[in-house]
Amino acid sequence: MGISAADISQRIVEAVLAQKLAPGARLGEQQLAMLFDCSRTIVREALTRLAARGIVTVSARRGWYVIEPSPDEAREAFEARRVIELGLIRGQGRPPEDALARLNLHLQQEQAAVQGDDVGTRSFLLGDFHVCLAECLGNSLLADTLRDFTARTTLIAMRYQSSHDAALSCQDHVAIVAALAAGDSARAEALMAEHLASVQAALRLPADTDPLQRLREALAPLPSSATSVAFDPAEPAYLGALL
């Protein structure tokens, strides 16, 4: 049995969560068809599904590519996650033992990944925690929704150069599960709110929505000291000094 559009969609979302596909990455239909050994029709169906989910987009000039979230879209994505995840936790009783066992296993995998050097696995597990939590709290529909929003916030973190510490995220997840295991949903909700706020605060979002901000910064005059450095032929030249 060949690969399906759903399989391709899943692989692309997983690659985003693992930070293996960056914002703006082009997704050529022909290349994907060759990679997955399937027809372009199946690839197009997968990409159309992802476009409906807000993960990829298409234009007549560029074709299919991974979204590049704007600052406003970044803020909206985190607001949506707050509404979903805090509402999911609110009023929850103590999860069943099998759910807690699954969450704790996920945390063990996170902790091992944080200590290792596989950035892709670490990124995937940190994002997938939120999907796993929704599933363990018995809401598969919200788990699917969170998977897409988590993929978007992963792209946001990549585009806006997040400085958030992976180890700190893992510690936050441990504390949230501990609160749920103690039956303290109010504390778990507060911890989740703090966690999402800290992740958002680590983004380097532009201070305003000036459409010329990047170009303005790039073309700003250099400091006088930077333009008055004398060239010494005895010193080794490098490309940056010649531009």
Residue 80: the pLDDT is 95
Residues 137 and 194 occupy one common structural domain: yes
According to the model, what pLDDT value does residue 226 have? Answer: 53
Task: Specify the number of domains making up the chain.
Answer: 2
What pLDDT sits at residue 45? 97
According to the model, what pLDDT value does residue 210 have? 64
The structure tokens listed for 240 are 């940056």
Residue pLDDT, tens place only, 155-172: 999 999 888 899 999 999
pLDDT tens digits along 61-98: 889 999 999 999 999 999 999 999 999 999 899 999 99
Give the domain CATH number at 88: 1.20.120.530
Q: With CA atoms as reference, report the closest residue to 150 among 54, 58, 51, 72.
A: 54
Q: Are residues 76 and 62 in the same domain?
A: no
User: Is 135 in the same domain as 35?
Assistant: no
Q: Are residues 48 and 159 in the same domain?
A: no
- DSSP per-residue letters across 16-69: HHTT-S-TT-B--HHHHHHHHTS-HHHHHHHHHHHHHTTSEEEETTTEEEE---
pLDDT tens, position by position, for the chain (243 residues)?
789 999 999 999 999 999 999 999 999 999 999 999 999 999 999 999 999 999 999 998 889 999 999 999 999 999 999 999 999 999 899 999 999 999 999 999 999 999 999 999 999 999 999 999 999 999 999 999 999 999 999 999 999 988 889 999 999 999 999 999 999 999 999 999 999 999 999 998 886 556 676 677 788 888 765 555 454 555 444 433 333
β-strand pairing of 56-59 with 63-66: antiparallel
Q: What is the dihedral of CA 137, 138, 140, 144, to 10 degrees?
A: -10
**79 and 186 assigned to the same domain:** yes
Domain boundary among 166, 182, 201: 201
Task: Tell me which residue has tokens 């990944």.
Answer: 113
Mark whether 75 and 49 lie in a shared domain: no
CATH number where 12 lies: 1.10.10.10
56 with 64: CB under 8 angstroms? yes
Q: Considering the domain boundaries, does residue 130 fall inside one?
A: yes
pLDDT of the residue at 161: 87
Q: Say how far apart CA 141 and CA 134 lie, in whole Å.
A: 9
Same domain assignment for residues 79 and 62: no
Same domain, 196 and 87: yes
- Co-location of 39 and 56 in the same domain: yes
Q: How far is CA 71 from CA 25, 59, 127, 159, 209, in A?
A: 18, 21, 20, 10, 8
Domain that holds residue 17: 5-66
Judge if 84 and 177 occupy the same domain.
yes
Answer with the one of 48, 66, 84 that is the final residue of a domain.
66
